């Protein structure tokens, strides 16, 4: 028997198997975002500074962090140890530095969510500075507004205010605590 016939049959079988594998893999649907295979970000930034602008082209906030990853499906961003710098808006407003262990930015940057050991400090010019601490804080840069349903501590020279739940106006420096409010005045 000629050796070419069995070799040809083996090669034809290998080619048919390869074609079947190639076409059967193509039939599998692409993974959806939110599934184990679809959780890969479309880009990741390391050790970066990002300046976000509002609709009028003014600085909305600056973000510095070691890692940012964007979800391609939702276009939301997850951040590790973010530092948000929110500039003063208007004449009487103060700029703010807001830090946390983790952060999240919505598609369009309408909302910033900070989680775990959140600390916000205003950079008051001529006014008393304020430090706000909470486990979680949502920042709405275009509205100059902050909010949380978590316990909050606000420290200003001469007083410490604690409560649960907060609505705040960053531009005006006004804060409303929702419940369990306690104030301690320090004599200096």
The answer to whether the predicted template modeling score (pTM) of the entire model surpasses 0.75 is no
- Domain assignment present for residue 78? The answer is yes
Mean per-residue pLDDT, 160-187? 85
Q: What average pLDDT is seen over the chain?
A: 80
Percent of the chain predicted with pLDDT > 70: 82
Burial of 59 (0-12, 13-18, 19+ CB in 10 A): middle
Q: What pLDDT shows up at residue 124?
A: 60
* CATH number, residue 170: 2.60.450.10
* Two tokens, residue 53: 């602008």
- Domain assignment present for residue 92? The answer is yes
- Domain assignment present for residue 163? The answer is yes
- Domain assignment present for residue 91? The answer is yes
- Domain assignment present for residue 4? The answer is no
pLDDT, one tens digit per residue, over 57-98 is: 888 888 899 998 988 888 888 999 999 888 876 655 677 888
Tell me how many domains the chain contains. Answer: 1
- Domain assignment present for residue 37? The answer is no
Residue 60 domain boundaries:
43-185
- Domain assignment present for residue 8? The answer is no
3-state secondary structure the chain: CCCHHHHHHHHHHHHHHHHHHHHHHHCCCCCCCCCCCCCCCCEEEEEEEEEEECCCCCEEEEEEEEEEEECCCCCCEEEECCEEEECCCCCCCCEEEEECCEEEECCCCCCEEEEEEEEEEEECCCCCCCEEEEEEEEEEHHHCEEEEEEEEEEEECCEEEEEEEEEEECCCCEEEEEEEEEEEECCC
- Domain assignment present for residue 26? The answer is no
């Amino acid at each position: 028997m000629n050796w070419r016939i069995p070799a040809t049959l083996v090669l034809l079988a290998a080619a048919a198997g390869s074609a079947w594998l190639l076409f059967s893999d193509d039939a599998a649907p692409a993974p959806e975002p939110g599934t184990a295979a679809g959780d890969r970000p479309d880009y990741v930034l390391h050790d970066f500074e990002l300046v976000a602008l509002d609709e009028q082209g003014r600085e909305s906030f600056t973000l510095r962090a070691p890692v940012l990853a964007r979800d391609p499906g939702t276009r939301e961003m997850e951040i590790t140890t973010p530092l948000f710098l929110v500039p003063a808006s208007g004449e009487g407003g103060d700029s703010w530095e807001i830090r946390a262990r983790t952060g999240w930015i919505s598609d369009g940057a309408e909302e910033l969510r900070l989680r775990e050991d959140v600390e916000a400090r205003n950079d008051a010019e001529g006014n008393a500075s304020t430090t706000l601490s909470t486990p979680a804080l949502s920042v709405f840069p275009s509205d100059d507004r902050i909010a949380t349903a978590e316990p909050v501590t606000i420290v200003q020279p001469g007083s410490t205010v604690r409560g649960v739940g907060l609505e705040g106006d960053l531009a005006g420096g006004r804060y409303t605590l929702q419940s369990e409010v306690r104030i301690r005045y320090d004599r200096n």
